[in-house]
Chains A and B, each alone.
Chain A
Amino acid sequence: MLDYETLKIIWWVLVGALLLGFAIMDGHDMGVGTLLPFAGKTDVERRIMINTVGPHWDGNQVWFITAGGAIFAAWPLVYATAFSGFYWAMLAVLWSLFFRPVGFDYRSKIENPKWRRTWDWGLFVGGFVPPLIFGVAFGNLLQGVPFHFDNDLRSFYTGSFWELLNPFALLAGVVSSAMITSHGANYLMIRTEGDIFRRVRTASLVFGAITLAAFAAAGVWIASGIKGFAITSVVDPNALPNPMDKTVVQETGAWLKNYTLYPATMLVPGAAFAGGLLAMLAAFLKKPLTAFVGSSISMLGIIGTAGVSLFPFVMPSSTDPRSSLTVWDSVSSQFTLGLMLVATIIFLPIIIVYTSWAYKKMSGKITEAFITANDKSAY
């Protein structure tokens, strides 16, 4: 069996991988939802956009659910503390996601234009709000979150919902939202033609540029004005997890330490820019598949940058720094981590295989002719 320290690091990578899977897969259909009311001018155009993700949104959404389950199993203290602390933010995510399953399935079952327009805005909310809030949440993680534990490891969140909406967090929200929107636009370029293609190509370029500009601005802000966290006590990565066993300080520039310590990690923010520029170039040259790959790489870079900067922290506490949750002390037992690793190694490749098969079978452009021919059965 792998030693505890290795398992802890593997699970940090795996949670990151699941979040990235969520961003790439569920992200593109959320991007479609965000663009829906703007890039689709008529009912048929909107139906075309919706049907590009019709057979796939549900499978894609499981990345979100599985990431939630994996955090529960691998980082129970993070699952408990983050979701109860960010209570209203989490509910806003869930409630906006409510509009998706019903929006997709119910929208085109009734011919009334008002009914359909209403669901279109529901799909917009379901696509736009969750990535925005996840970005805001990451923005708050980077600043530290006001919570502490008592002696029984019961967590208490002492902030409010409105405090989460501070300027830096909103900037992180812009990064996340723009990144998902441009990614969705790249996907739509693959699956559509004509007017929709033209509009989403513009969207890809505009939101791609916003993503990179906001990401760069957030980087500058972190280097100059955001206090990071650092562990000052000796860490035994193999120890049984107890967050209260350490001492932590806050200092400006702490979030950049890993890049000096391990210079190779500079490649991660590098990938954010390289992937983003590749996506924009490809969108400009009308190479949608390359653009999609580019925005996927960019998301790997952006999510990875948040992870590497925070490492080993996952959820630092601004009010009681030693309560901060790290990769070392918020995890499950060695046995559970090992078990879940085996389950992931078995099932993740299988999932990727059948998901690819599903996309392959449903590939091709969605056209007006397709919608007319499948008026009763298409979304």
Chain B
Amino acid sequence: MISTELVDLSRLQFAVTALYHFLFVPLTLGMTFLLVIMEGAYLVTKQQVYKDMTRFWGKLFGINFALGVTTGLTMEFQFGTNWAYYSHYVGDIFGAPLAIEGLMAFFLESTFIGLFFFGWDRLTKGQHFLVTVLTAVGSNLSALWILIANGWMQDPVGAHFSYTTMRMELASFWDVIFNPTAQAKFVHTVSAGYVTASIFVLGISSWYLLKGRDIEFARRSFRIAAAFGFASALSVIVLGDESGYTVSEAQQTKLAAMEAMWHTEKAPASFNLIAMPNEKEQRNDWAIKIPYVMGIIGTRSFNKEIPGIAEIKEKNRGRIESGMLAVSAMEELRKDKNDAAAKAQFEAHKADLGFGLLLKQYTEDVTKATPDMVQKAVDSTVPRVAPMFWSFRLMVALGFGFALLLTLSLYHTVKGTFMKQRWLLRWAVYFIPMPWLAAELGWFVAEYGRQPWTVYGMLPTHLSASSLSPGSLYGSLTGFITFYTGLLVIELYLMFKFARKGPGSLGTGRYFADKAAH
């Protein structure tokens, strides 16, 4: 059996490398479109300041992008190095969006980003603008394919299991692409990226305004960021709510855990605004509730019930018991694929195969699982509530904070008074890191909330890991943390240095830092 230590270390390594990677992704997603807007303004107005804006914000974008590429390399190969059984088991489906991402999106983004930085003197204005647009399209398409892949892990549609090849195989690529879970994740994630980039530009511009330098440059940057950010923040909230409303079973489990709904309530369920989840007694010690709201958000109706944790677990107990029969039939079929009795048993229970595999954590021969093991497996089907509940609430609170900041910024932009609102400018500066925190929390909710599965209902996490030694994992984990932390420190050093220097870092002679140097 695979050691729990190995699985935990593999999960930790994936979490560390993925969370590091996502420190750099959101800014890329949003900044490319902000650069399109700025360069578009240059194309239309022909004012030099817009070209300088494109180049300066592009420079900061480049510092961030370099680490996005660095940490992204790991992601493409880590399924193979550390999740070999997962890769074999679902590569037929999961590999396709990854490969298409490379062909359709990543080539586009990476080829044109080179021309974005170095092509100013070699391309016509129109050509350069097109290059910037294609970079933005490429980076966002890249997110689309990755989230299609991730969406499939949350909600595995369009695929079936084959005992001959001992893996899942693609049945409908259409279903995988238009998986509602994937689409909801995509729009939520890219809009979150747009908010991140908007607050980044808004905050740094505010800092220049507070310092009273490069005013014209900062003023225009602030306005673009406020407008783009406002639209994006609204879409994050609306589309985030859209990902809350979903009928799939995986999402129901996640919903129950992140809302601390221990039992099914009479519809429409009330919403736990804030509560103190008690994992041991499977209840909330106290809760402040808003009647009806959860039922309406979760089901878009007044009469549909949302299943609570206890009810989900009871349903899963049935699936685990049925899954035991599927696993034992599959094992017979692996020995003799013409065994008719085994085939009949497998066909009857194959929908619960994944639930039967949950027992493999406790015993090689699942038919010999004790009631105690079954109970443990049942309990494992819902993730721990407190981490889900609090991460989700903090993320949502931050989301509303962004919406408020961006709404006020837009309001004062329209009124033309934002330069006098020093409290607003200060708020924007202090809020610069918050979108990153929100994004990381969001990924934690999505991925921790899917446990104990890598592919919901199909493949348990503990079966997915490569057969490596824990020693190898300790070594590689240390290496990744050392590398990434070192590179992050360097990145932040450069980011602060160039953000402080401002547009003067372009060396055009038109800005504050140029004059200070002379």
Contacts and interface: CB of A to CB of B under 8 A. Distances in A.
A359 to B, nearest CB: 10
A343 B85 contact: no
Chain A CB within 10 A, most for which of B66, B74, B101, B505: B66
A250 interface: no
Contacts of B96: 73, 336, 339-340, 343
Contacts of A354: 108, 111-112
Contact of A69 (B69, B99, B498): B99
Contact of A358 (B69, B115, B491): B115
Contacts of A375: 507
A332 B92 contact: yes
A317 to B, nearest CB: 15
A130 to B, nearest CB: 11
B256 to A, nearest CB: 32
Contacts of A152: 166, 334
Contacts of B169: 332-333, 335-336
Contact of A361 (B119, B166, B490): B119
Contacts of A339: 96, 170, 173
B118 A54 contact: yes
Contact of A62 (B84, B102, B115): B102
A292 to B, nearest CB: 19
A365 B343 CA distance: 68
Contacts of B85: 80, 154-155
B82 interface: yes
Interface in B93-116: 93-96, 98-104, 106-108, 110-115
A327 interface: no
Interface residues of B, number: 75
A94 interface: yes
A88 B110 contact: no
B487 interface: yes
A351 interface: yes
A90 B84 CA distance: 13
Contacts of A79: 79-80, 87, 91, 95
B67 interface: yes
B81 A90 contact: yes
Contacts of A358: 111-112, 114-115
A361 B123 contact: yes
Contacts of B77: 68, 83, 90, 94
Given A84-B468, A102-B487, A55 B114 contact: yes
Chain A CB within 10 A, most for which of B100, B108, B173: B100
Interface in B43-80: 55, 62-63, 65-67, 69-70, 72-74, 76-77, 79-80
Contact of A84 (B80, B479, B506): B80
A362 B119 contact: yes
Contact of A56 (B106, B114, B468, B483): B114
Contact of A242 (B86, B164, B170, B472): B164
Nearest to B168: A333
Given A106-B494, A153-B166, A336-B169, A98 B487 contact: yes
A343 B100 contact: yes
Interface string A139-152: 00000000000011
Contacts of B170: 332-333, 335-336, 339
B73 to A, nearest CB: 6
B70 A102 contact: yes
Given A76-B87, A106-B490, A332-B91, A65 B80 contact: no
A232 to B, nearest CB: 22
Interface in A95-134: 95, 97-98, 100-102, 104-106, 109-110
Contacts of A91: 81, 476, 479
Contacts of A109: 63, 494, 498
A314 interface: no
Interface in B311-352: 334
Interface in B149-183: 162, 164-167, 169-171, 173
B101 A69 contact: yes
B84 A72 contact: no
Contacts, number: 242
Interface string A50-77: 0000111111011001101110111011
Nearest to A99: B70
B472 A82 contact: no
Contacts of B507: 375-377
A59 B109 CA distance: 8
A69 B98 contact: yes
A156 to B, nearest CB: 5
A259 interface: no
A253 interface: no
Interface string A241-273: 110000000000000000000000000000000
Contact of A65 (B76, B100, B113, B117): B76
B103 A66 contact: yes
Contacts of A76: 87-88, 91-92, 95, 167
A339 B95 CA distance: 12
A344 interface: yes
A106 B117 CA distance: 14
Interface in B26-48: none
Nearest to B508: A376
A347 B95 contact: no
A72 B99 contact: yes
A101 to B, nearest CB: 4
Interface in B384-442: none
Contact of A87 (B81, B88, B110, B120): B81
B211 interface: no
A81 interface: yes
A68 B76 contact: yes
B367 interface: no
A94 B111 CA distance: 21
A153 B167 contact: yes
A98 B334 CA distance: 43
B95 A69 contact: yes
A95 B66 contact: no
Contacts of A234: none
A58 B111 CA distance: 7
Contacts of B196: none
Contact of B66 (A62, A69, A105): A105
A166 interface: no
A102 B114 contact: no
A70 B102 contact: yes
20 contacts: A54-B114, A55-B114, A55-B119, A68-B102, A69-B101, A72-B79, A73-B99, A77-B91, A84-B84, A98-B483, A98-B487, A101-B66, A105-B62, A153-B88, A336-B92, A339-B173, A340-B100, A347-B104, A377-B507, A378-B118
Given A109-B494, A153-B166, A157-B467, 16 more contacts: A58-B111, A70-B102, A73-B95, A79-B87, A80-B88, A81-B88, A83-B80, A84-B467, A100-B70, A101-B65, A101-B69, A104-B66, A152-B166, A154-B88, A242-B166, A376-B505
Q: Which 10 interchain pairs have the tightest Cβ spacing? A: A76-B91, A83-B80, A73-B95, A66-B102, A55-B114, A72-B95, A59-B111, A69-B99, A84-B84, A84-B466
